[in-house]
Amino acid sequence: MTQPELDHRIHQVLSAFKLHGPFFAGYPVNQDFDYSDLYPLLSFAANNIGDPFGHSRYQSNTHETEREVVRTIAELMRLPPDDAWGYVTAGGTEGNMYGIYVGRELLRNPIAYFSQDTHYSVIKILHVLNIRNIMIRSQDNGEMDYDDLRESIRINRDVPPLIVANIGTTMKGAVDALDRVRGIIEELALPRSYIHADAALSGMILPFVDDPQPFGFDSGIDSIAISGHKMIGSPLPCGVVVTKREYTAQIGRAIEYVGALDTTLLGSRNAITPMIIWYSLTKHGPEGFREIVARMLDTAEYAVQQFNANGIPAWRARNSATVVFPRPSPYVLYHWQLAPLGDIAHLITMPHVTRDMIDQVIADYLEWPRAET
């Protein structure tokens, strides 16, 4: 291919991205960022293969920054950084897989419990890891039905439970009550259990609000996965998984070829994404995130009020930027890239979503009524 032909394709892709950007209201992806400071790093073949807390023979790595990211996230998730182990993953799915894998290794033959509203990655992971599992009913608000959880665990009392708790469901932003889950485990006097928290989006919201629902290690979780391309705003998909250091001793295996402890699910790993997460966390700092989150939740509340004022029954969970409403017409879904599920759809007031965009979504919603089906 000639250079003009190469340029043409790149330009095509760029134009498509630019065209869709201003109408991006439905997915929990923060588009408000500038990582141009990091661009020079892309001139090198960097690789974070192996355990970020161990030694690696592959020297163009960013393990040190990755450790810093893990420690910062651990602290936000209320785990003393020295007690934490984790790494930067390729996304929420890998973080869930790692947490659930650790749970299975510790409990040997558990039964996994997750709710109807749990992210689809979890069902896939349980299938891949060949873990017995039971789907728990959800309440209408998207939280797990705790009575159903208690009954299901009670019937299987002889098998240790591995519970996947949603710290913000994908569709409704609902947070499973960790205190109630712990209460059930204690009530049934189960000696062994494991809680993995899927905190893809809300894991980076709840640490920055005044009155969060229980979400962290201080509420009894054993591992947590958050996404880097959602709240943190990474242009490359990524995430962070954090678990307790003491758990990982049972899992690592030394691999001579790369001279590294093989504790991560993937072999070769992205060395740029730890830099991106570090950049965002460090640049904004906890105070910056507090402001960003406050603004998001304020826009979400504005959206609920404006929908309601126009006769559309929208709602959101406490401390959630996910605004749920009756499914609009296909045009509105497509134009604003809203995520539908059955009768409902949502928009998410990520930092790039403005009040003006909300007004436009509602105007379109009213102008393009949903065809009767």
Ligand X SMILES: *Cc1c(COP(=O)(O)O)cnc(C)c1O
Distance of alpha carbon 351 from alpha carbon 332, whole angstroms: 21
Q: Is residue 92 a contact residue for ligand X (CB under 6 A)?
A: yes
Query: Tokens 């290794």 identify what position?
Result: 105
Tell whether residue 244 is a contact of ligand X (CB under 6 A).
no
170 counts as binding ligand X under rule CB under 6 A: yes
Contact between residue 371 and residue 329 where contact means Cβ atoms under 8 Å apart: yes
Q: Using CB under 6 A, which of 200, 205, 293, 338 touches ligand X?
A: 200
56 binds ligand X (CB under 6 A): no
Q: Are 75 and 97 in contact (CB under 8 A)?
A: no
* 93 contacts ligand X (rule: CB under 6 A): yes
**Residue-wise DSSP of 4-25:** HHHHHHHHHHHHHHHHHGGG--
Euclidean distance between CA atoms 215 and 88, whole angstroms = 20
b/e map 54-82, b = 16+ CB within 10 Å:
eebebeebbbebbbbbbbbbbbbbebeee
Could you tell me which stretch among 73-81, 86-94, 186-194, 323-331 binds ligand X (CB under 6 A)? Answer: 86-94
Which of residues 63, 67, 104, 119 is near ligand X by CB under 6 A? 119
**Can you spell out the DSSP letters for 98-117?**
HHHHHHHHHHSS-EEEEETT
Give CA–CA dist 65/240, Å, rounded: 13
Other CB atoms closer than 10 Å to residue 285's CB: what's the count? Answer: 10
In the complex, which residue's CB is closest to ligand X? 92
CB-wise, 107 or 201, nearer to ligand X? Answer: 201
CB of 22 to ligand X, least distance (A): 22
Q: Which residues are catalytic?
A: 320
Backbone angles phi, psi at 334, to 5 degrees: -70, -50
Q: Binding to ligand X by residue 227, rule CB under 6 A?
A: yes
By beta-carbon proximity to ligand X, the closer residue of 120 and 257 is 120
- For 118-274, where are the E strands, in sequence order? 132-136, 161-166, 194-198, 223-227, 239-244, 254-255, 260-261
Q: With respect to ligand X, which residue has the nearer C-beta, 48 or 322?
A: 322
Nearer Cβ to ligand X, position 72 or 170? Answer: 170
Size of the site for ligand X (CB under 6 A): 13
Give the interface segment with ligand X, choosing from 179-187, 194-202, 309-317, 319-327 (CB under 6 A): 194-202
Q: Is the CB of residue 159 less than 8 Å from the CB of residue 189?
A: no
Least distance (Å) between residue 118 CB and ligand X: 7
Can residue 91 be called a binding residue for ligand X (CB under 6 A)?
yes
- Please report how close the Cβ of residue 154 comes to ligand X at its closest, in angstroms: 27
Asked whether position 121 contacts ligand X by CB under 6 A, the answer is: yes
Q: How many CB atoms lie within 10 A of CB 212?
A: 17
Considering the complex, what minimum distance in angstroms separates the CB of residue 157 from ligand X? 28
Mark 340-359 with x for binding to ligand X (rule: CB under 6 A) and - for no binding. --------------------
Q: Does 63 bind ligand X (CB under 6 A)?
A: no
* Least separation in angstroms between CB 91 and ligand X: 3
The nearest distance, CB 167 to ligand X, in angstroms, is 8
**Is 215 in contact with 167 (CB distance < 8 Å)?**
yes
Query: Would you say 212 and 238 are in contact if contact means Cβ atoms under 8 Å apart?
Result: no
Which residues within the stretch 207-226 sit at the binding site for ligand X (CB under 6 A)? none
Q: Which is nearer to ligand X, 94 or 365 (CB)?
A: 94
CB of 31 to ligand X, least distance (A): 15
Q: Which is nearer to ligand X, 239 or 351 (CB)?
A: 239
CB 322 within 8 A of CB 173: yes
Q: Which amino acid is at 368?
A: W
Instruction: Record the tokens describing residue 166, joined without a space.
Output: 């949603």
- Please report how close the Cβ of residue 239 comes to ligand X at its closest, in angstroms: 6
Applying CB under 6 A, the residues found at the interface with ligand X are 91-93, 119, 121, 169-170, 198, 200-201, 227, 237, 239
